[in-house]
C-alpha cells in the first residue's frame, strides 16, 4: 500500500494508533554543520522551546498557525519527532513529524517545517528535513508524506528539490477554495 492509496479513514486510524502506543523514538541526538558561515546544530525540541517555537510558527503562518496548545501536544507526543535548528543559542527553525502505522505499513508524516524569516534561504529547512528523514529511516519508515498549500511556492520548491512527488490535489483542504497538495517521497 502507498500513501496515495491510503484512504482518509486509514489515516484517521493511524492517528488514533499514535495516541495509544508506547514511545519508540530514541532520545537525545545532536548534529552540527556549517551553513553560510553560520554554525547550525540540529537537536531534539523540548517543551522548554515552546515559547520560541510558537513565535516562529506565528511568523510563518500568522492566522493559521498551530496554537500553543497544539504545539505543546506535538512536543509531548511520544510518537512525534520534533527537531530544532539552533544558530548559536537562537532557535532558527523547527520541524515536526510523526510515525503512523496502517496495518503493517509504516509512514512518516511531516506536520510542519518552519524557518524564522531572518534565517531563510540558508539551507536550514533542507537540513531539518534531511535529519527528520534519517530519523524516520531509523524507525523503518520507507515512505514519507506531507501536505502543502498549492500556492506555497517556497515549500513546494524545497520539497521538489528534496525528491517529493506531487501525488494528489487536496481540494478545499485548508478552507473553502484553499487547496492543498499531497506530496510523497520513498525513503531508501
Ligand atoms: C519553506 C521554508 C521552510 C524554506 O526554508 P529555508 O530554510 O528558507 O529553505 P532552504 O534554504 O533550505 O531552501 C532549500 C531550497 O528550497 C527552495 N526554496 C526555499 N525558499 C524558496 C523561495 N522563497 N522561493 C523559491 N524557492 C525556495 C530553493 O530551491 C532552495 O534552494 P536554493 O536556496 O539553493 O535555491 C521557509 O520558507 C518557511 O518557513 N516558510 C514558511 C512556513 C512554510 O511554508 N513551511 C512549509 C509548510 S509545508
| 8 A C-beta contact, residue 182 and residue 143 | no
Give the pLDDT confidence score for residue 38 in this predicted structure.
Answer: 79
Q: What percent of the chain has pLDDT over 90?
A: 75
At 4 the pLDDT is: 55
Q: Residue whose CA is closest, atom 43 of ligand 1? A: 114
> Residue 18 — pLDDT band, cuts 50, 70, 90?
very low
Q: Which residues line ligand 1 (CB under 6 A)?
A: 60, 113-115, 120-126, 148, 152-155, 157-158, 161
Task: Note the pLDDT tens digit of each residue in 128-140.
Answer: 999 999 999 999 9
pTM: 0.86
Residue 85 Cα to ligand 1 midpoint, Å, equals 14
Residue from 71, 121, 131, 159 whose mutation best tests the ligand 1 pocket (most atoms within 8 A of CB) = 121
3-state helix, strand, coil in the chain (%, to 5): 35, 40, 25
Residue 21: count of CB within 10 angstroms of its CB: 12
pLDDT > 50? residue 17: no
**Could you tell me the pLDDT band of residue 188, with boundaries at 50, 70 and 90?**
confident
| Digit-coded pLDDT (tens) for 74-107 | 999 999 999 999 999 999 999 999 999 888 889 9
Domains of the chain: 3-144 (3.40.630.30)
Phi, psi of 86 (to 5 degrees): -110, 140
Return the higher-pLDDT residue of 3 and 90. 90
Dmax over CA atoms of the chain, in Å, equals 46
Query: Grid coordinates standing for 130?
Result: 534531511
Query: Could you read off the pLDDT of 146-172 as tens digits, one per residue?
Result: 999 999 999 999 999 999 999 999 999
C-alpha–C-alpha distance, residues 98 and 19, integer Å: 11
pLDDT in tens, 40-87: 999 999 999 999 999 999 999 988 899 999 999 999 999 999 999 999
Pair 31, 42: CB distance under 8 Å: yes
Q: Which three cell numbers stand for residue 31?
A: 548534529
13 CB contacts (<8 Å, ≥6 apart)? 102
Kind and range of the H or E element at 30?
strand 30-35
Amino acid at each position: 500500500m502507498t500513501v496515495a492509496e491510503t484512504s482518509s479513514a486509514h489515516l484517521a486510524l493511524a492517528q488514533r494508533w499514535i495516541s495509544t502506543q508506547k514511545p519508540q523514538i530514541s532520545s537525545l541526538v545532536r548534529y552540527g554543520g556549517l551553513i553560510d558561515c553560520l554554525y547550525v546544530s540540529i537537536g531534539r525540541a523540548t517543551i522548554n522551546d515552546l515559547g520560541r517555537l510558537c513565535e516562529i510558527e506565528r511568523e510563518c503562518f500568522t492566522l493559521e498557525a498551530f496554537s500553543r496548545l497544539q504545539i505543546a501536544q506535538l512536543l509531548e507526543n511520544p510518537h512525534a519527532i520534533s527537531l530544532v535548528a539552533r544558530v548559536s543559542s537562537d532557535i532558527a527553525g523547527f520541524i515536526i513529524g510523526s510515525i503512523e502505522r496502517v496495518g503493517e505499513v509504516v509512514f512518516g508524516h511531516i506536520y510542519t517545517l518552519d524557518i524564522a524569516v531572518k534565517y531563510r534561504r540558508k539551507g536550514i529547512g533542507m537540513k531539518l528535513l534531511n535529519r527528520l528523514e534519517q530519523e524516520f529511516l531509523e524507525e523503518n519508515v520507507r515512505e514519507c508524506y506531507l501536505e502543502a498549500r498549492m500556492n506555497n511556492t517556497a515549500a513546494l520548491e524545497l520539497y521538489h528539490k528534496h525528491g517529493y512527488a506531487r501525488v494528489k490535489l487536496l481540494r478545499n483542504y485548508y478552507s473553502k477554495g484553499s487547496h492543498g497538495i499531497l506530496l510523497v517521497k520513498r525513503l531508501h
